[in-house]
Amino acid sequence: MSDARWFEIDRAIAATVKHFAGAVVIYGKDPSALADEDRYLVDMAFMHAMQAGHTSLENALLRILDLCGEEPPTGASWHADLIRRIANRVGDRPAVLIGEAARAADATRRFRSIATHAYDTFDYAQAAAAVASAQRLSEILPTEIARFREAYDP
């Protein structure tokens, strides 16, 4: 169904794809070839793009839960709980993200936590798995959301 209820969800998914795809491009820059001030800019841009990508994804998922009349998770682990919940059927609501997409979303969530708390000790090597997940999400997320939308709200 194409209506205004999906407008913000669609925008948040588009932002997720844009930020994750941008993070992948930034990650591809060779930081060892950069001057210190340029490396700082690249490091910060990369971490922010990853954070913005995952935050946009969470925004879309929270809006989907709201659309379904489902309360969002609460408490200290709500970020992880959100990914766990949307990867499963709850009542009449089918899983929003399944398999690879859910695992990739969890990987970008874990990386966002690292990037948020480890600015001064950031290590590019530790980011490789999260970048692969961000790239995969940028490729498959629109299809995953379309699959869910068709199943839930044809």
Task: Indicate the pLDDT class of residue 1, thresholds 50, 70 and 90.
Answer: very low
> In this structure, which amino acid lies at residue 41?
L
% of the chain surpassing 90 pLDDT: 73
**Domains delineated in the chain:** 4-152 (1.20.120)
Whether 88 and 99 have beta carbons less than 8 Å apart is answered as no
107 exposed, middle or buried (CB, 10 Å; 0-12, 13-18, 19+)? buried
Cα separation, 83 vs 58, in Å, equals: 8
Evaluate if pTM is beyond 0.85.
yes
% of the chain surpassing 70 pLDDT: 95
Cα separation, 86 vs 131, in Å, equals: 21
The mean-pLDDT minimum among 4-8, 73-77, 117-121 falls in 117-121
6: its two tokens: 């999906």
Cα separation, 3 vs 105, in Å, equals: 26
Half-sphere exposure of 128 (CA within 13 A, CB side): 2
Query: Does the pLDDT of residue 12 top 60, yes or no?
Result: yes
Whether 49 and 26 have beta carbons less than 8 Å apart is answered as yes
The pLDDT of 39-59, averaged and rounded, is 93
Direct distance between the N- and C-terminal alpha carbons of the chain, in angstroms, rounded to an integer? 5
> Which residue(s) pair with 93 in the sheet?
90
The pLDDT of 69-73, averaged and rounded, is 97
Residue 11 phi/psi, 5° resolution? -65, -40
- Taking residue 97's Cβ as centre, other Cβ atoms within 10 Å add up to 25
pLDDT of residue 117: 66
pLDDT of residue 112: 85
Query: Does the pLDDT of residue 153 top 90, yes or no?
Result: no
CA angle 50, 54, 55 (to 5 degrees): 115
pLDDT of residue 115: 72
- Output the CA torsion 71→134→25→60 (10° steps): -20
pLDDT of residue 2: 55
Q: What is the pLDDT of residues 89-140, one digit of tens each?
A: 999 999 999 999 999 999 999 998 777 766 666 777 778 999 999 999 999 9
